[in-house]
Amino acid sequence: MKIAAILKFSALDYPGKLSAVVFCQGCPLRCVYCHNQDFLDSSLSGNVSREEFLSFLKTRVGLLEAIVFSGGEPLLQPNLREAIESVKELGYAVGIHTSGVIPNALKVILPTLDWVGLDIKTCFESYKDITNVADSGKLVAESLSIILASWVNYEIRTTYDSRNITDADLISIAQSLGERGVRRWIIQECIIRDDTRLTHLPLPSQDILSKIATYVNVELRRS
Ligand code: SF4
C-alpha cells in the first residue's frame, strides 16, 4: 500500500461522519483540472509507512468515525483490502473516493465498503476530453452499474469544468443517471490553478439546472 499523505481530519469527505482521508499514490487518469498532481505517479513510493498508518489509526479511535481512501486512485493499490480490514478492526466505517476506472477491482472490494464516492467526469462518450485516457468512460459506466446493483451507500458527483463540459453534456449525464436510477447528483465547482492564482469556474445556469432536475435531483457544491 503506497500512501502519499493523510489528511488527519475532515468533516466533508464522508457524509455525516468525521473522517480522516488516506491519499493513495498513483492514478491511471490525467484529468485536466487535477489538483493532486503529486499523487499521480504510481512508480513513486508513498511518504507514509504502514507502521505510521496503523499507529495513526489507533490514536484516532473514539475521535474519528470513518476512514476514507482517496488518491490518486485507491483501487490501484494491491493491498487495499488488507488496509481496509485494519481500519474495520478498529471500528471505523470505510469509504473510498474513486474515479471508477477499475471496475474489476471495485467489484471485489465493494462488499468491504460502507460508502463510495464515484466521480462522473462527463458524459461517458466524452471522457477523454477530461481524463486524457481513451475509453475511460466505458469503464466508469461499468463501475456505476456495479454500485447501483449493490446495497452500498454512494454519492455520484461531477466536477463541472465549463471549458470541457457543454450544456448538452450536462443534460445527457442527467438523463443517463436518471435512467439508471440515480436519485441524487452533486455538481461540484471546478477550481483551476495556474502558476499565480486559483480561478473558480462558473456553475451551470439556472435554466440548465431546471432541465437537469427533470431527470435527477441535483445539488450544487461550492468549494
Ligand atoms: S482521477 Fe482524481 S487524482 Fe486522478 S487525475 Fe483525475 S482528478 Fe487527479
Q: Report how far residue 3's alpha carbon sits from residue 15's, in angstroms, rounded to the nearest whole number.
A: 23
Ligand 1 centre distance from Cα of residue 26 (Å): 9
Q: What is the pTM assigned to this prediction?
A: 0.96
Query: Can you say whether residue 164 is alpha, beta or left, with left for phi > 0 and alpha for psi between -120 and 50 degrees?
Result: alpha
For the chain, domain boundaries = 3-221
* H-helix or E-strand spanning residue 59: helix 50-59
Amino acid at residue number 118: L
Ligand 1 centre distance from Cα of residue 217 (Å): 25
CB 27 near ligand 1, within 6 Å: yes
Q: Look at the block and give the residue holding cell 458527483.
A: 157
Which pLDDT value is given to residue 61? 97
CB 99 near ligand 1, within 6 Å: yes
Q: What is the pLDDT of residues 137-178, one digit of tens each?
A: 999 999 999 999 999 999 999 999 999 999 999 999 999 999
Q: What is the pLDDT of residues 134-147, one digit of tens each?
A: 999 999 999 999 99
Ligand 1 centre distance from Cα of residue 62 (Å): 31
Q: Where are the beta strands (DSSP E) in the chain?
A: 3-10, 19-24, 66-70, 93-98, 115-119, 153-160, 184-189, 191-193, 198-200, 217-221
Q: What is the pLDDT of residues 62-97, one digit of tens each?
A: 999 999 999 999 999 999 999 999 999 999 999 999
The closest residue, in CA terms, to atom 8 on ligand 1 is: 34
Answer CATH for 3-221 from 3.20.20.140, 3.30.465.10, 3.30.360.10, 3.20.20.70: 3.20.20.70
Q: Report how far residue 144's alpha carbon sits from residue 182's, in angstroms, rounded to the nearest whole number.
A: 10
